[in-house]
Amino acid sequence: MSKLDLTDLALLDALTKTGAVSATAEVLGLSQPSVSIRLGKLRTHFNDPLFVRTSKGMEPTPRASALLPTVQAALALFSGLEGQASDFDPGTSDRTFRICMTNTGQMVILSRLLNHLSQVAPRVRIDIKDLDSDTPRQLESGEADLAMGFTLNMQAGFHQQKLFSEYYVCLVRTGHPRIKHKLSDAQFLEERHVSVLTSGTAHWMLDKAIEDAGITRDIAVWVPSFLALEEILAKTDLLALAPIHLARLISANGSVKFLDVPFALPSYPVRQYWHERYHKDAACRWLRSIVADIFRD
């Protein structure tokens, strides 16, 4: 490590205050692996452990304690610079933001975001890209400004923020001849299902959880997205598993309803992701704050 940046300084300050890598990651908006990697590079740079594990948590070494006043002074200086007026004006900007998300995200997230933007940034435009294996490269290169969804593919150099939690429910048509107000284990096994196979989402985790529970679904049809699911379910006796936020949308007109799954399935977080290169970009910071505010409510 030939040079230090502000994130390195902030890491030293935050880890001194929190005494934990996990809490430091939360403060900085980084993943725990990213914090661990940076800490390792800092240890090499200063040729000192900097922080060691004790019964009270991660405690600074004398070397780290000696560095702290200088680190905090530098952070205070740059904090003053960051406090100056932003060069991004959402009320007049016609910038196009490029966001990676799944088709599920487009159904659940996009309309809420667009409605909010129409009020606070009426000339801003949104270009949606698929959330896939190429997303990290696009975020790093600037071809995409933001990604939203569930993924474990982001490595060091990426920031993330949780937006909301998802869990799976079972969708079935309202007039189903055998399933009324509750779904039993036997019904789940005896009925035929629609299986949605989409990339970049939590479906692989769903499949593993079903397998771990010893459940075998009788699949009648595999489809590549949730887009036609309401039409299929409303006109057949098939069942389908779907994330709760999407299930609420699909069941809104009353032809389809959702029921609890009769065995345990894991929940998972939906997050927004961005690359460290654009962490301080005024326009990108504004967009991330808008997204976070929408789902905080």
Between residues 103 and 273, the one the model is more confident about = 273
The pLDDT of residue 5 is 87
Give the mean pLDDT of 237-255.
94
Identify the weakest region by mean pLDDT among 130-144, 172-186, 195-209, 245-259. 195-209
| Residue 250, CA atoms < 13 Å, CB-side half-sphere | 28
Judgement on whether residues 273 and 193 belong to the same structural domain of the protein: no
The pLDDT of residue 105 is 85
Between residues 239 and 268, the one the model is more confident about = 239
Segment holding 196, helix H or strand E? strand 192-196
Q: Is 80 exceeded by the pLDDT of residue 293?
A: yes
* 38 falls within a domain: yes
Judgement on whether residues 192 and 146 belong to the same structural domain of the protein: no
Judgement on whether residues 135 and 180 belong to the same structural domain of the protein: no
| Residue 107, CA atoms < 13 Å, CB-side half-sphere | 19
Give the mean pLDDT of 230-240.
96
Q: Is 80 exceeded by the pLDDT of residue 277?
A: yes
Total domains in the chain come to: 3
The pLDDT of residue 40 is 93
* 67 falls within a domain: yes
What Cα–Cα distance (Å) separates residue 221 from each residue in 186, 225, 238?
20, 12, 9
* 213 falls within a domain: yes
Between residues 156 and 257, the one the model is more confident about = 257
Query: Which SS3 state, helix, strand or coil, does residue 144 take?
Result: coil
CATH code assigned at 291: 3.40.190.10
Q: What percent of the chain has pLDDT over 90?
A: 59
* Cβ(170)–Cβ(188) below 8 Å: yes
* 110 falls within a domain: yes
* Cβ(64)–Cβ(13) below 8 Å: no
Tell me, what DSSP letter sits at residue 58?
A: E
For 185, other C-beta atoms within 10 Å of its C-beta total 12
Q: Is 70 exceeded by the pLDDT of residue 14?
A: yes
Judgement on whether residues 151 and 285 belong to the same structural domain of the protein: yes
Residues 6+ apart with CB under 8 A from 289: none
The pLDDT of residue 99 is 96
Q: How far apart are the first and last CA of the chain?
A: 41
Judgement on whether residues 291 and 251 belong to the same structural domain of the protein: no
* 88 falls within a domain: no
Residues 6+ apart with CB under 8 A from 43: 49, 50
> Distance from CA of residue 141 to its chain's centroid?
19
* 1 falls within a domain: no
CA 210 – CA 283 distance, rounded (Å): 42
The full DSSP string for 240-294 is EEEEHHHHHHHTTTSSEEEE--SS----EEEEEEEEGGGSS-HHHHHHHHHHHHH
Judgement on whether residues 42 and 181 belong to the same structural domain of the protein: no
CATH code assigned at 26: 1.10.10.10
The pLDDT of residue 133 is 84
Summarised one tens digit per residue, pLDDT across range 78-87 is 765 455 445 7
Q: Is 60 exceeded by the pLDDT of residue 268?
A: yes
Judgement on whether residues 248 and 289 belong to the same structural domain of the protein: no
23 φ/ψ sector (left φ>0, alpha ψ -120 to 50, else beta)? alpha
Q: Which residue, of 82, 113, 142, is where some domain finishes?
A: 82
* 198 falls within a domain: yes
Summarised one tens digit per residue, pLDDT across range 197-211 is 876 556 677 877 888
Judgement on whether residues 178 and 155 belong to the same structural domain of the protein: no
| Structure token digits, residue 30 | 């980084």
Q: Is 80 exceeded by the pLDDT of residue 297?
A: no
Q: Which residue segment(s) compose the domain that 51 sits in?
A: 6-82
Summarised one tens digit per residue, pLDDT across range 163-172 is 998 899 999 9
CA 23 – CA 45 distance, rounded (Å): 23
The pLDDT of residue 1 is 53
The pLDDT of residue 145 is 95
Residues 6+ apart with CB under 8 A from 113: 126, 290, 291, 294
Q: Is 70 exceeded by the pLDDT of residue 295?
A: yes
The pTM assigned to this predicted structure is 0.66
* 277 falls within a domain: yes
Residues 6+ apart with CB under 8 A from 180: none
Judgement on whether residues 193 and 54 belong to the same structural domain of the protein: no
Judgement on whether residues 246 and 102 belong to the same structural domain of the protein: no
Mean pLDDT of all residues belonging to the chain: 88
Q: Is 90 exceeded by the pLDDT of residue 214?
A: no
Q: Is 70 exceeded by the pLDDT of residue 259?
A: yes
Judgement on whether residues 64 and 194 belong to the same structural domain of the protein: no
Judgement on whether residues 69 and 122 belong to the same structural domain of the protein: no
